[in-house]
Amino acid sequence: MWVVLFGMLLLATLTGCSTRSEVPTTGVVPLNTEFTLKAGESAYVQELQLTLMVRSVGVVWNQAGAEIPIVELTIDSPYKRAPFQGETGKTTEIGDYQLTVLDVSPFGDGSTRLIVKSP
């Protein structure tokens, strides 16, 4: 397994490929507008040079045993390149802007609704 992974990374390096996607697979979304993504999809907020990629949509359980739908994202911007995990209502700062998880639907279509807002 590790040999295959190392070989793929070596091949990408030697051929000049990058693991960082410059063009979003889903498209450009405007600032201050709700949008929906599924696992594996990404969106680009052009005003901020921000790419959001949904790594997974799933469920975790709290100590009381209640299900909490969560989304795992990769945030890539001039301000921040980091993973983010959040449930409905969670907000994180990206420079002077806010990314908010509006809804997570792990069952059915496995989508999440997001918004990036200006201050």
Task: Kindly report, residue by residue over 64-91, the tens digit of the pLDDT.
Answer: 999 999 999 999 988 778 999 999 999 9
Task: Kindly report, residue by residue over 2-55, the tens digit of the pLDDT.
Answer: 333 333 333 333 333 333 333 345 689 999 999 999 999 999 998 999 999 999
User: What's 1-30 look like in SS3?
Assistant: CHHHHHHHHHHHHHCCCCCCCCCCCCEECC
Residues shown for the chain = 119
pTM of the model: 0.75
Residue span of the structural domain in which 57 resides? 21-117
Give a yes or no: residue 93 inside a domain.
yes
Helix ranges, 1-119 (H) = 2-14
- Number of structural domains, the chain? 1
Give a yes or no: residue 1 inside a domain.
no
